[in-house]
């Protein structure tokens, strides 16, 4: 199950970024499960990582390497998370970096590792190392679609976004892929996301963009409220577009930010649309909040409510579940007579109870749709935040109950 057509876009190749794909047979024989990104010399990379304190070994190693040098390669494997693996996991992640470095003629510090899959099992280093020559030999700028499939785990379809924009007479290309379908409340980014551009961006601006854009996209999605041990989202800039460096004072920065923001949002929304067992794409829009935190508290309380999520799956306009979730979100001194709750354009709650013009038929018409907006106006201030989620279906339980079998 998934919401919407989910077709991949036409990917625009990013000058200075090549991708290679290979099969290591980590979980399933013959499956393409190793992806390599090769970055041109002079490329810059910024990223954000999980805040889960049981972060996976590749997260720790990537952070360390990123702090030391400019990466030339990214190495991604699926089928094994290399998380909860202790000191051995660290050694295995470094060993994979060293093997790729030896094959490519760079230092191990110039390789960033990323893993996704089952937690708590040793990384099959020999399989991954054995697949590296194939991955490196296959690198090309036009392999984004294959790479999108190569990083999938429980995803039912690959996820990608791509666009081009004019910056001062120079065409800038942005392409990206992401993966994730469950264990998604990133609290930083997504399970895995990789966005590349050929723009030349000052390092401090690149990190600011990676952090701010991730916060408003990947950090505003939730499938089940669980934060993965392996979340990482990387923004790569090859600098090959032929124009000047984009700095904090560049007039082109606003245009670049807008284009990047759309790619980030498309990739984040694609994860929700492909949430495990998802049949609904749900926007939760909280306005009139006194602070960002209380807006997010309300949005996530509604998004994480099993009763709300199961009602969404059943297309049941059981608006009392939404009201109850808002009421337990912890907002102090909430004026129940002032706030309003909407399902699409239908007002559910006004003046502390069911809106006088609400009818079950109007609510049902909205709930029957695949894409639904729940809007909550707290009428306490001018802060607004949006979170995206999905419903809970029978398939979500089945997928996660059978994940290791």
**Among the listed residues 377, 286, 295, the one whose alpha carbon sits nearest the alpha carbon of residue 336:** 377
Residue 103 annotated as binding site: no
Q: Any binding-site annotation on 276?
A: yes
pLDDT tens for the 405 residues of the chain, in order = 789 998 999 999 999 999 999 999 998 899 999 999 999 999 999 999 988 888 999 999 999 999 999 999 999 999 999 999 999 999 999 999 999 999 999 999 999 999 999 899 999 999 999 999 999 999 999 999 999 999 998 899 999 999 999 999 999 999 999 998 776 676 655 579 999 999 999 999 999 999 999 999 999 999 887 777 788 999 999 999 999 999 999 999 999 999 999 999 999 999 999 988 899 999 999 999 999 999 999 999 999 999 999 999 999 999 999 999 999 999 999 999 999 999 999 999 999 999 999 999 999 999 999 999 999 999 999 999 999 999 999 888 887 787 676
The matching CATH number, chosen from 3.40.605.10, 1.20.1090.10, 3.60.70.12, 1.20.1250.20, for 17-273 is 3.60.70.12
Is 247 designated active site?
A: no
Sorted by where each begins, the domain ranges of the chain are 17-273, 281-401
Q: Is 139 part of any known ligand binding site?
A: no
179 is in an annotated binding site: yes
Q: What is the side-by-side order of every strand in the sheet holding 159-167?
A: 44-49, 232-237, 192-197, 170-179, 159-167
27 is in an annotated binding site: no
Listed residue (8, 127, 112, 131) closest to 61, CA to CA: 112
Report in angstroms the alpha-carbon separations of 306 from 202, 227, 283, 368.
44, 17, 16, 19
Q: Which of 190, 197, 229, 301 is catalytic?
A: 190
* Sign of the CA dihedral running 347, 352, 356, 360: positive
Q: Would the CATH topology of 17-273 be identical to that of 281-401?
A: no
Per CATH, is 281-401 categorized as 3.30.9.10? no
């Amino acid at each position: 199950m998934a919401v919407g057509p989910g077709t991949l876009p036409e990917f625009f190749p990013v000058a200075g970024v090549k991708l290679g794909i290979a099969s290591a047979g980590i979980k399933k024989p013959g499956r393409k499960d190793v992806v390599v990104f090769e970055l041109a010399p002079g490329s810059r990379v910024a990223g954000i990582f999980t805040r889960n304190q049981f972060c996976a070994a590749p997260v720790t190693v990537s952070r360390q390497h990123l702090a030391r040098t400019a990466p030339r390669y990214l190495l991604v494997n699926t089928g094994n998370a290399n998380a909860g693996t202790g000191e051995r996991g660290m050694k295995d992640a470094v060993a994979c970096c060293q093997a790729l470095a030896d094959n490519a003629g760079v230092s191990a510090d110039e390789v960033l590792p990323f893993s996704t899959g089952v937690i708590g099992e040793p990384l099959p280093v020999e399989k991954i190392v054995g697949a590296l020559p194939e991955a490196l030999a296959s690198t090309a700028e036009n392999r984004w679609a294959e790479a999108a499939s190569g990083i999938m785990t429980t995803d039912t379809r690959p996820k990608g976004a791509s666009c081009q924009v004019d910056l001062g007479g120079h065409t800038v290309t942005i392409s990206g892929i992401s993966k994730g379908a469950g264990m998604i409340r990133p609290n930083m980014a997504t399970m895995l996301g990789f966005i590349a551009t050929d723009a030349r961006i000052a390092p401090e601006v690149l990190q600011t963009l990676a952090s701010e854009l991730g916060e408003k996209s990947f950090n505003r999605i939730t499938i089940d409220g669980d934060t993965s041990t392996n979340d990482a989202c990387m923004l790569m800039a090859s600098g090959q577009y032929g124009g000047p460096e984009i700095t904090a004072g560049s007039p082109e920065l606003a245009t670049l930010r807008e284009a990047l923001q759309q790619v980030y949002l498309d990739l984040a929304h694609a994860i929700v649309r492909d949430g495990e067992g998802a049949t609904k794409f749900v926007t939760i829009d909280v306005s009139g909040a006194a602070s960002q935190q209380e807006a997010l508290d309300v949005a996530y309380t509604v998004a994480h409510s099993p009763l709300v999520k199961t009602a969404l799956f059943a297309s049941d306009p059981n608006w009392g579940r939404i009201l109850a979730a808002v009421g337990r979100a912890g907002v102090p001194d909430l004026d129940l007579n002032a706030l309003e709750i909407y399902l699409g354009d239908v007002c559910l709650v006004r003046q502390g109870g069911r809106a006088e013009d609400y009818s079950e038929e109007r609510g049902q018409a909205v709930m029957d749709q695949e894409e639904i907006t729940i809007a909550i106006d707290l009428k306490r201030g001018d802060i607004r935040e949006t979170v995206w989620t999905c419903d809970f279906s029978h398939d979500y339980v089945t997928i996660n109950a059978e994940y290791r079998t």
